[in-house]
Protein backbone atom coordinates (compact mmCIF):
# COMPACT_ATOMS: atom_id res chain seq x y z
CA UNK A 1 0.00 0.00 0.00
CA UNK A 2 1.34 3.42 -0.97
CA UNK A 3 0.24 5.06 2.31
CA UNK A 4 1.76 2.40 4.58
CA UNK A 5 4.48 3.75 6.91
CA UNK A 6 8.04 2.67 6.12
CA UNK A 7 8.55 1.63 9.76
CA UNK A 8 5.94 0.55 12.30
CA UNK A 9 7.11 -0.20 15.83
CA UNK A 10 4.32 -1.83 17.84
CA UNK A 11 4.65 -2.30 21.63
CA UNK A 12 8.33 -3.23 21.37
CA UNK A 13 9.87 -4.44 24.64
CA UNK A 14 13.55 -5.23 25.25
CA UNK A 15 14.82 -6.46 28.61
CA UNK A 16 18.29 -6.96 30.05
CA UNK A 17 18.39 -10.17 32.10
CA UNK A 18 21.13 -11.18 34.56
CA UNK A 19 23.00 -14.44 34.00
CA UNK A 20 20.90 -16.19 36.67
CA UNK A 21 17.69 -14.54 35.51
CA UNK A 22 17.11 -12.95 38.91
CA UNK A 23 17.30 -9.32 37.77
CA UNK A 24 15.40 -7.83 34.86
CA UNK A 25 15.81 -4.31 33.46
CA UNK A 26 13.03 -3.11 31.18
CA UNK A 27 15.23 -0.94 29.00
CA UNK A 28 12.57 -0.59 26.28
CA UNK A 29 9.01 -1.04 27.53
CA UNK A 30 6.14 -1.27 25.03
CA UNK A 31 7.39 1.45 22.70
CA UNK A 32 5.27 2.25 19.64
CA UNK A 33 5.70 4.75 16.80
CA UNK A 34 5.53 5.00 13.01
CA UNK A 35 7.83 6.61 10.47
CA UNK A 36 7.15 7.38 6.82
CA UNK A 37 9.63 7.61 3.97
CA UNK A 38 11.48 10.92 3.99
CA UNK A 39 10.42 11.82 7.54
CA UNK A 40 12.67 12.45 10.53
CA UNK A 41 11.83 11.22 14.02
CA UNK A 42 13.72 12.62 17.00
CA UNK A 43 14.14 10.36 20.04
CA UNK A 44 15.09 12.38 23.12
CA UNK A 45 15.61 11.77 26.80
CA UNK A 46 18.25 11.68 29.52
CA UNK A 47 21.03 9.12 29.60
CA UNK A 48 19.63 5.73 30.57
CA UNK A 49 16.17 6.41 29.14
CA UNK A 50 16.47 3.58 26.60
CA UNK A 51 17.24 5.52 23.41
CA UNK A 52 20.27 3.51 22.26
CA UNK A 53 18.75 0.18 23.28
CA UNK A 54 15.73 1.08 21.15
CA UNK A 55 17.99 1.71 18.14
CA UNK A 56 19.91 -1.54 18.66
CA UNK A 57 16.61 -3.41 19.02
CA UNK A 58 15.42 -2.14 15.64
CA UNK A 59 18.58 -3.56 14.02
CA UNK A 60 18.71 -6.69 16.22
CA UNK A 61 22.24 -5.77 17.36
CA UNK A 62 21.66 -6.27 21.08
CA UNK A 63 24.36 -7.51 23.49
CA UNK A 64 24.04 -11.08 24.86
CA UNK A 65 22.31 -9.99 28.08
CA UNK A 66 19.49 -8.24 26.19
CA UNK A 67 16.56 -9.80 24.41
CA UNK A 68 13.41 -8.64 22.67
CA UNK A 69 10.55 -10.07 24.73
CA UNK A 70 7.56 -8.66 22.89
CA UNK A 71 6.19 -6.48 20.14
CA UNK A 72 6.86 -6.09 16.43
CA UNK A 73 9.16 -4.02 14.20
CA UNK A 74 7.55 -3.90 10.75
CA UNK A 75 9.89 -2.47 8.12
CA UNK A 76 8.41 -2.23 4.62
CA UNK A 77 5.70 -4.60 5.86
CA UNK A 78 8.13 -7.27 7.17
CA UNK A 79 8.50 -7.99 10.89
CA UNK A 80 12.22 -7.76 11.70
CA UNK A 81 11.72 -9.44 15.08
CA UNK A 82 10.96 -12.74 13.34
CA UNK A 83 13.89 -12.57 10.90
CA UNK A 84 16.77 -15.04 11.14
CA UNK A 85 20.31 -13.76 11.85
CA UNK A 86 21.22 -14.34 8.19
CA UNK A 87 18.23 -12.36 6.96
CA UNK A 88 19.10 -9.48 9.32
CA UNK A 89 22.69 -9.38 8.02
CA UNK A 90 21.31 -8.82 4.53
CA UNK A 91 19.10 -5.98 5.79
CA UNK A 92 21.68 -4.15 7.93
CA UNK A 93 23.78 -1.77 5.89
CA UNK A 94 21.70 -2.27 2.78
CA UNK A 95 18.15 -1.31 3.72
CA UNK A 96 18.75 0.06 7.23
CA UNK A 97 22.00 1.72 8.30
CA UNK A 98 23.21 3.22 11.57
CA UNK A 99 25.66 5.96 12.55
CA UNK A 100 27.06 5.42 16.04
CA UNK A 101 27.90 8.15 18.54
CA UNK A 102 31.64 7.40 18.48
CA UNK A 103 32.96 7.02 14.92
CA UNK A 104 36.02 5.12 16.14
CA UNK A 105 33.65 2.40 17.38
CA UNK A 106 32.65 1.91 13.73
CA UNK A 107 36.02 2.34 12.02
CA UNK A 108 38.77 -0.29 12.09
CA UNK A 109 42.17 1.37 12.63
CA UNK A 110 43.91 -1.38 10.60
CA UNK A 111 42.07 -0.76 7.32
CA UNK A 112 42.14 2.22 5.00
CA UNK A 113 39.17 4.52 4.63
CA UNK A 114 38.67 3.27 1.07
CA UNK A 115 38.47 -0.36 2.21
CA UNK A 116 35.89 0.48 4.86
CA UNK A 117 33.67 2.73 2.75
CA UNK A 118 33.69 0.22 -0.11
CA UNK A 119 33.05 -2.86 2.07
CA UNK A 120 29.21 -2.61 2.14
CA UNK A 121 29.17 -2.36 -1.66
CA UNK A 122 31.30 -5.47 -2.01
CA UNK A 123 29.36 -7.45 0.60
CA UNK A 124 25.79 -6.47 -0.27
CA UNK A 125 26.01 -5.72 -3.99
CA UNK A 126 28.96 -7.85 -5.10
CA UNK A 127 30.75 -4.83 -6.56
CA UNK A 128 34.31 -5.53 -7.75
CA UNK A 129 37.10 -3.90 -5.76
CA UNK A 130 38.07 -1.30 -8.39
CA UNK A 131 34.51 -0.16 -8.95
CA UNK A 132 33.81 -0.17 -5.21
CA UNK A 133 36.82 2.07 -4.58
CA UNK A 134 35.70 4.45 -7.29
CA UNK A 135 32.30 4.60 -5.63
CA UNK A 136 34.04 5.17 -2.25
CA UNK A 137 35.79 8.24 -3.68
CA UNK A 138 32.43 9.57 -4.91
CA UNK A 139 30.88 8.95 -1.49
CA UNK A 140 33.67 10.81 0.30
CA UNK A 141 33.11 13.71 -2.07
CA UNK A 142 29.36 13.54 -1.39
CA UNK A 143 29.96 13.92 2.36
CA UNK A 144 32.35 16.81 1.64
CA UNK A 145 35.64 15.18 2.54
CA UNK A 146 38.42 17.28 0.91
CA UNK A 147 40.85 15.52 -1.46
CA UNK A 148 38.91 12.21 -1.55
CA UNK A 149 41.45 10.66 -3.96
CA UNK A 150 44.06 10.97 -1.20
CA UNK A 151 41.82 10.22 1.80
CA UNK A 152 40.69 6.80 0.52
CA UNK A 153 44.28 5.57 0.97
CA UNK A 154 44.63 6.92 4.51
CA UNK A 155 43.64 5.47 7.90
CA UNK A 156 41.06 6.69 10.45
CA UNK A 157 43.69 8.03 12.89
CA UNK A 158 44.83 10.45 10.20
CA UNK A 159 41.42 12.16 10.15
CA UNK A 160 39.90 14.77 12.43
CA UNK A 161 36.83 13.90 14.52
CA UNK A 162 34.53 15.71 12.12
CA UNK A 163 36.02 13.90 9.12
CA UNK A 164 35.70 10.51 10.83
CA UNK A 165 32.03 11.23 11.51
CA UNK A 166 31.51 12.08 7.82
CA UNK A 167 33.28 8.90 6.77
CA UNK A 168 30.91 6.88 8.96
CA UNK A 169 28.07 8.70 7.22
CA UNK A 170 29.52 7.75 3.83
CA UNK A 171 29.61 4.09 4.90
CA UNK A 172 25.99 4.32 6.08
CA UNK A 173 24.64 5.67 2.78
CA UNK A 174 26.88 3.58 0.49
CA UNK A 175 24.11 1.10 -0.39
CA UNK A 176 21.39 3.79 -0.40
CA UNK A 177 19.33 2.47 2.54
CA UNK A 178 15.70 3.43 3.08
CA UNK A 179 16.21 4.15 6.81
CA UNK A 180 19.15 5.76 8.60
CA UNK A 181 19.48 5.66 12.39
CA UNK A 182 21.82 8.30 13.84
CA UNK A 183 22.67 7.72 17.51
CA UNK A 184 23.90 11.05 18.94
CA UNK A 185 26.28 11.57 16.00
CA UNK A 186 27.15 15.17 16.93
CA UNK A 187 28.06 14.70 20.61
CA UNK A 188 31.83 14.73 20.06
CA UNK A 189 31.80 17.60 17.53
CA UNK A 190 32.32 21.28 18.24
CA UNK A 191 29.48 23.67 17.51
CA UNK A 192 30.70 24.78 14.07
CA UNK A 193 31.36 21.25 12.80
CA UNK A 194 28.08 20.11 14.38
CA UNK A 195 26.12 22.65 12.33
CA UNK A 196 27.92 21.58 9.16
CA UNK A 197 27.23 17.91 9.89
CA UNK A 198 23.53 18.54 10.49
CA UNK A 199 23.27 20.38 7.16
CA UNK A 200 25.02 17.45 5.52
CA UNK A 201 22.53 14.96 6.98
CA UNK A 202 19.60 17.04 5.74
CA UNK A 203 21.14 17.29 2.26
CA UNK A 204 21.76 13.53 2.17
CA UNK A 205 18.20 12.90 3.32
CA UNK A 206 16.76 15.03 0.52
CA UNK A 207 19.03 13.55 -2.15
CA UNK A 208 18.45 9.91 -1.20
CA UNK A 209 14.88 10.09 0.17
CA UNK A 210 15.99 8.69 3.54
CA UNK A 211 13.80 8.25 6.56
CA UNK A 212 15.85 9.30 9.57
CA UNK A 213 15.72 8.41 13.26
CA UNK A 214 17.80 10.98 15.14
CA UNK A 215 18.66 10.00 18.72
CA UNK A 216 19.86 12.88 20.86
CA UNK A 217 19.63 14.63 24.22
CA UNK A 218 19.77 18.03 22.47
CA UNK A 219 16.30 19.49 21.97
CA UNK A 220 17.74 22.30 19.86
CA UNK A 221 18.82 19.72 17.27
CA UNK A 222 15.37 18.12 17.40
CA UNK A 223 13.70 21.48 16.71
CA UNK A 224 15.95 22.00 13.70
CA UNK A 225 16.05 18.49 12.24
CA UNK A 226 12.89 16.57 13.04
CA UNK A 227 9.27 16.34 11.92
CA UNK A 228 8.07 14.33 14.94
CA UNK A 229 9.53 13.58 18.35
CA UNK A 230 9.32 10.73 20.86
CA UNK A 231 10.29 11.65 24.42
CA UNK A 232 11.62 8.63 26.35
CA UNK A 233 11.80 8.18 30.10
CA UNK A 234 12.57 4.95 31.96
CA UNK A 235 12.26 2.88 28.78
CA UNK A 236 8.90 4.27 27.69
CA UNK A 237 7.76 6.93 25.24
CA UNK A 238 6.05 9.32 27.65
CA UNK A 239 5.08 11.83 24.95
CA UNK A 240 5.07 11.83 21.18
CA UNK A 241 3.82 13.98 18.35
CA UNK A 242 4.72 16.72 15.86
CA UNK A 243 7.76 18.73 16.90
CA UNK A 244 6.07 22.16 16.83
CA UNK A 245 3.18 20.95 18.95
CA UNK A 246 5.43 19.24 21.51
CA UNK A 247 7.59 22.35 21.86
CA UNK A 248 4.69 24.81 22.03
CA UNK A 249 2.30 22.74 24.20
CA UNK A 250 4.07 19.88 26.02
CA UNK A 251 1.54 17.74 27.87
CA UNK A 252 3.91 15.70 30.08
CA UNK A 253 5.75 17.40 32.98
CA UNK A 254 8.99 15.67 31.95
CA UNK A 255 8.77 17.12 28.44
CA UNK A 256 7.94 20.51 29.93
CA UNK A 257 11.03 20.27 32.14
CA UNK A 258 13.23 19.39 29.16
CA UNK A 259 11.87 22.33 27.16
CA UNK A 260 12.35 24.69 30.13
CA UNK A 261 15.97 23.59 30.49
CA UNK A 262 16.94 24.86 27.01
CA UNK A 263 19.14 27.99 27.29
CA UNK A 264 17.67 31.00 25.48
CA UNK A 265 19.42 34.08 24.15
CA UNK A 266 18.38 37.30 25.82
CA UNK A 267 17.24 35.71 29.10
CA UNK A 268 19.99 37.46 31.06
CA UNK A 269 21.99 35.88 33.90
CA UNK A 270 19.14 33.80 35.33
CA UNK A 271 20.00 30.26 36.44
CA UNK A 272 19.19 27.45 34.06
CA UNK A 273 16.22 25.27 34.93
CA UNK A 274 17.22 21.83 36.20
CA UNK A 275 15.18 18.67 36.79
CA UNK A 276 15.43 17.64 40.43
CA UNK A 277 16.43 14.11 41.30
CA UNK A 278 17.80 11.29 39.16
CA UNK A 279 16.32 8.87 36.60
CA UNK A 280 14.93 5.77 38.32
CA UNK A 281 16.78 2.51 38.86
CA UNK A 282 15.09 0.24 36.30
CA UNK A 283 15.97 -2.86 38.34
CA UNK A 284 13.47 -1.66 40.95
CA UNK A 285 11.42 1.15 39.35
CA UNK A 286 8.95 3.17 41.40
CA UNK A 287 5.30 2.23 41.47
CA UNK A 288 2.87 4.14 39.32
CA UNK A 289 4.34 6.71 36.92
CA UNK A 290 8.13 6.37 36.79
CA UNK A 291 8.52 10.17 36.77
CA UNK A 292 6.42 10.86 39.86
CA UNK A 293 9.36 11.09 42.36
CA UNK A 294 10.72 14.04 40.32
CA UNK A 295 7.43 15.57 39.22
CA UNK A 296 6.28 18.82 40.89
CA UNK A 297 2.68 18.18 39.74
CA UNK A 298 2.35 14.54 40.84
CA UNK A 299 -1.08 13.39 42.03
CA UNK A 300 -1.82 10.56 44.46
CA UNK A 301 -2.91 8.51 41.47
CA UNK A 302 0.51 9.04 39.83
CA UNK A 303 2.18 7.24 42.75
CA UNK A 304 -0.09 4.22 42.54
CA UNK A 305 -1.16 3.65 38.91
CA UNK A 306 0.93 3.66 35.74
CA UNK A 307 -0.79 5.93 33.19
CA UNK A 308 -1.68 4.71 29.69
CA UNK A 309 -1.03 6.80 26.59
CA UNK A 310 -3.74 9.44 26.29
CA UNK A 311 -4.44 11.24 23.02
CA UNK A 312 -4.00 14.96 23.69
CA UNK A 313 -4.71 16.01 20.11
CA UNK A 314 -4.56 14.19 16.78
CA UNK A 315 -1.15 12.41 16.54
CA UNK A 316 -0.12 13.82 19.95
CA UNK A 317 -0.06 11.40 22.90
CA UNK A 318 1.17 11.59 26.49
CA UNK A 319 1.52 8.97 29.26
CA UNK A 320 0.39 11.21 32.09
CA UNK A 321 -2.69 11.32 34.30
CA UNK A 322 -2.73 15.09 33.86
CA UNK A 323 -3.51 14.46 30.19
CA UNK A 324 -6.46 12.20 30.97
CA UNK A 325 -9.84 13.47 29.71
CA UNK A 326 -11.60 15.50 32.37
CA UNK A 327 -8.47 16.26 34.40
CA UNK A 328 -8.42 19.97 35.32
DSSP one-letter string for 44-56: E--TTSSHHHHHH
| pLDDT class of 184 with cuts at 50, 70, 90 | confident
Q: E strands within the chain?
A: 7-17, 24-35, 40-44, 66-75, 78-79, 96-99, 179-183, 211-216, 228-233, 236-242, 310-313, 316-318
Closest to 321 measured CA to CA, from 226, 274, 252, 261:
252
How many CB atoms within 10 Å of residue 56? Answer: 19
pLDDT confidence of residue 1:
46
Q: What angle do CA 241, 246, 252 make, to 5 degrees?
A: 95
What average pLDDT does the segment 37-59 reach? 94
| pLDDT class of 328 with cuts at 50, 70, 90 | low
Q: Taking 60 as the threshold, does the pLDDT of residue 248 lie above it?
A: yes
Q: Taking 70 as the threshold, does the pLDDT of residue 4 lie above it?
A: yes
Torsion of CA 246, 238, 261, 244, to 10 degrees: -10
* Whole-angstrom distance, CA of residue 123 vs CA of residue 38: 26
pLDDT confidence of residue 102:
80
* Whole-angstrom distance, CA of residue 177 vs CA of residue 199: 19
What average pLDDT does the segment 54-67 reach? 94
| pLDDT class of 267 with cuts at 50, 70, 90 | low
Strand partners, 316: 313
C-alpha atoms less than 13 angstroms from C-alpha of 19 in its C-beta half-sphere: 0
Closest to 140 measured CA to CA, from 171, 115, 119, 110:
171
267 vs 93, residue with greater confidence: 93
Please report, rounded to a whole number, the percentage of residues in the chain having pLDDT higher than 90: 64
Closest to 117 measured CA to CA, from 182, 162, 166, 159:
166
pLDDT confidence of residue 32:
96
- What's the pLDDT tens digit per position in 309-320? 999 988 899 999
Give me the helix-helix angle, 129-142 and 113-125, nearest 10°. 120
Q: What is the mean pLDDT of the chain?
A: 90
Instruction: Walk me through the domains of the chain, giving residue ranges and CATH numbers.
Output: 7-95+177-323 (3.40.50.300)
pLDDT confidence of residue 50:
93
Q: Output the pTM of the full model.
A: 0.90
In contact, 168 and 107? CB cutoff 8 Å:
yes
- What's the pLDDT tens digit per position in 216-241? 988 888 988 999 999 999 999 999 99
* Whole-angstrom distance, CA of residue 258 vs CA of residue 242: 16
Contacts 24+ apart (CB under 8 A), 239-245: 239/316, 239/317, 239/318, 239/319, 239/320, 240/33, 240/316, 240/317, 241/312, 241/313, 241/315, 241/316, 241/317, 242/315, 242/316, 243/42, 245/313, 245/316
User: Which residues 6+ apart lie within 8 Å of 328 measured at CB?
Assistant: none
Phi, psi at 285, each rounded to 5°: -65, 160
Amino acid sequence: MADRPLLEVDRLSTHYVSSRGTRVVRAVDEVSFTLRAGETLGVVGESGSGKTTLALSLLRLLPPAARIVGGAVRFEGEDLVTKSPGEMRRIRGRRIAMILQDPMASLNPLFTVGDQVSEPLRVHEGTRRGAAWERARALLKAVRIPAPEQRVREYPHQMSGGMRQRIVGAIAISCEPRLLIADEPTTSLDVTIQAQYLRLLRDLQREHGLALIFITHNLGIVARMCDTVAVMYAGRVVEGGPVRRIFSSPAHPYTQALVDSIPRLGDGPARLTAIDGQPPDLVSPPTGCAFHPRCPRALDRCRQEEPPAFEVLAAHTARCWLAAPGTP
